[in-house]
Amino acid sequence: MTDAETVARAIDGDEVAQRVLYEAHYAAAFRLAYLLLRDACDAEEVVQDAFVYVFRNLRRYDSGRGSFWAWLRVVLVSRCRNKRRRRRLPLISLEILDAADASPADPQPASDPAGALEMRGVQRAVWEALQQVSPGARDALILRYYEGLPYAEIAAVLGCSADAARARVAHGKAQLRRLLTAPEGEVTCWRDGRLLLPSQGGGAEG
């Protein structure tokens, strides 16, 4: 059954269909909210608020304009940005993602523990640097490299043009490059000219 079919049943008051939608998208929603807010309690609150909104407004969903997750993601990011404006952000903790079984996939094979540990250290350095990137650029980086979205979809989520989305990503990468450059001038978190941001199943390039 597709999301559109499940939504149609949910609109008719099928509580099982609503639960199917919730269970299918909760983990991805929490992961994205946590990446943007860096606080587990706030992320959970925003996720629940976003689901309440979409379930109350299911008749507004248009499958011809995108998937249910794409619609939910727009609502979720908007609420995360509103929440973030109201409070000061704490430090990010990768352990929260680990505990939620939602940590970025380790690109190193299990047979190379030394390489896996090195990559883990690189990812941690990137996460810690992200907190110092300007909010607009950080959101664009997360959507581009973690969610793997094309610039057109980033633009739709952030409410800007595709060119503006591309510019935000470029600005964020420039900030990260400065933050992740070693004292000797060596950039340790880039490979083949690409930023080693964690992604799921292979992230976007460029």
Complete domains list, the chain, with CATH: 3-85 (1.10.1740.10), 104-195 (1.10.10.10)
- Please give the model's pTM, rounded to 2 decimal places: 0.63
Q: State residue 110's pLDDT score.
A: 40
**Region for 160 from its dihedrals, namely left if φ exceeds 0, alpha if ψ lies in -120 to 50, beta otherwise:** beta
Q: Say which residue the tokens 């950039």 belong to.
A: 187
Spatial distance between the Cα atoms of 48 and 41, rounded to a whole number of angstroms: 11
Q: State residue 100's pLDDT score.
A: 38
What type of residue sits at position 181? Answer: T
Least trusted range by pLDDT, from 80-89, 138-147, 174-183: 80-89
Spatial distance between the Cα atoms of 150 and 98, rounded to a whole number of angstroms: 26
Report which of 114, 93, 104 is spatially closest to residue 34, judged by C-alpha positions: 93
Judge contact between 81 and 164, C-beta under 8 A. Answer: no
The contacts of residue 155 (CB under 8 Å, 6+ apart) are 161, 162, 164, 165
What are the structure tokens assigned to 114, written together?
């030394």
Beta-strand pair 190-191/194-195: antiparallel
Least trusted range by pLDDT, from 20-34, 51-65, 132-146, 175-189: 175-189
Q: Which residue has better confidence, 41 or 96?
A: 41
Beta partners for residue 187, in sequence order: 181
pLDDT band (50, 70, 90) for residue 90: very low
What average pLDDT does range 175-201 have in this prediction? 58
Report which of 152, 113, 109, 133 is spatially closest to residue 195, judged by C-alpha positions: 133
